[in-house]
Amino acid sequence: MAALAPHAVKAYFPALVATSLRLRERWRQAAQAGTGIALAVDLKCYSIDIIAGLTFGIEVNTLEHGEHVLQRHMDIILAGVARRSMAPFPYWRYLRLARERELDASVAALRTAVDQLITDARTLLEAEPARRQHPANLLQAMLCAAQEEGSGIDNNIVAGNVATMLLAGEDTTSGTLAWLLYLLHRKQAAMPFGAGPRTCPGRYLALLEIKVACAMLLATFDIAAIDTADGREPEEVMGFTMSPQALQMRLRTRT
């Protein structure tokens, strides 16, 4: 997990700032037009742009170009993981419901996309061996580690690990940011990363991501409101993580 250690995450800071500026532009337009912001949607775009860049070095830029095909599959997989982990028995082994077939198709599509990215990264590393000293993203770092003698890391392990990073880095950070903004707006706060041997290795990245987004938001806008559609306290929605129910944010540009 060296790739997620504080010094490695710091190297990614410029890319993080660039992504937060894209979010700022999107929020500036909403503030000027006086329209509400679908907080979960925008924060998910922010976190997926960051995690896809860090993991694969690819610019999915969902903030400017809308949903990316990878994001659609990830949303289906995350919902499927949550559903299956709460099921009283493994019904999917016996019932081929439409949503289970959809889940299988998304897992296969993600695997195909990841395999292609692995092939591309391998080709690049072979063409430019000097890059092995300074891998530019998590995938390159894993491929270099895999080549060390006796590493025992094969393609399946690399694919599994990068897919885990993608999935672990999306809803977690965007959900925490949504809660954080909502609670700060109401003058309360909370922040959980687990403890012990399985403490979250993504915590430095997540905290940096959260701080950059908050710094950008508070330096540029005043938060006029963050509310649910009916104005009640948001309920926790059980998914891969516990996210707040859909929240709408209204911003005013600072003068």
How far is Cα 22 from Cα 39, in angstroms, rounded to an integer? 15
Examine residue 135 and tell whether it contacts ligand HEM (CB under 6 A): no
Q: Is 190 exposed, middle or buried (0-12, 13-18, 19+ CB in 10 A)?
A: exposed
Among 137, 172, 208, 226, binds ligand HEM (CB under 6 A): 172
- To ligand HEM, the closest distance from the beta carbon of 44 in angstroms equals 12
The CB-of-161 to ligand HEM minimum distance in angstroms stands at 8
Contact call for residue 139 and ligand HEM (CB under 6 A): no
For residue 198, the 8-state DSSP code is G
Q: How far is the CB of 170 from ligand HEM (least distance, A)?
A: 8
* DSSP at 15: H
* Residue 250 β-bridge partners: 225
Sequence-ordered alpha helix ranges (H) in the chain: 6-11, 13-33, 39-56, 62-65, 69-86, 98-127, 138-146, 155-168, 171-185, 203-220
Full DSSP string of 22-86: HHHHHHHHHHHHT--EEHHHHHHHHHHHHHHHHHH-----HHHH---HHHHHHHHHHHHHHHHHH
CB 15 within 8 A of CB 50: yes
32 burial level (CB within 10 Å; 0-12, 13-18, 19+): exposed
In this chain, which stretch among 67-75, 105-113, 165-173, 211-219 interacts with ligand HEM, using CB under 6 A? Answer: 165-173
Instruction: Rule CB under 6 A: say whether 201 interacts with ligand HEM.
Output: yes
Tell whether residue 6 is a contact of ligand HEM (CB under 6 A).
no
- Looking only at residues 29 through 58 of this chain, which bind ligand HEM when binding is defined by CB under 6 A? 51
Listed ranges 38-46, 102-110, 139-147, 191-199: which one lies at the site for ligand HEM (CB under 6 A): 191-199
Using CB under 6 A as the binding rule, whether residue 19 contacts ligand HEM is answered as no
Q: Pick between residue 30 and residue 48 the one whose CB is nearest to ligand HEM.
A: 48
Residue of 50, 109, 98 whose CA lies nearest to 75: 109
**Is residue 244 near ligand HEM by the rule CB under 6 A?**
no
Choose, by CB under 6 A, the member of 168, 178, 213, 216 that binds ligand HEM.
168
Sole window of 74-82, 93-101, 167-175, 245-253 interacting with ligand HEM (rule: CB under 6 A): 167-175
CA distance 108 to 106: 5
Q: Which stretch binds ligand HEM (CB under 6 A): 18-26, 116-124, 162-170, 228-236?
A: 162-170
- Give the shortest CB-211-to-ligand HEM separation in angstroms: 11
Residues at the contact surface with ligand HEM, assessed by CB under 6 A:
4, 51, 164-165, 168-169, 172-173, 176, 192-194, 198, 200-202, 205-206
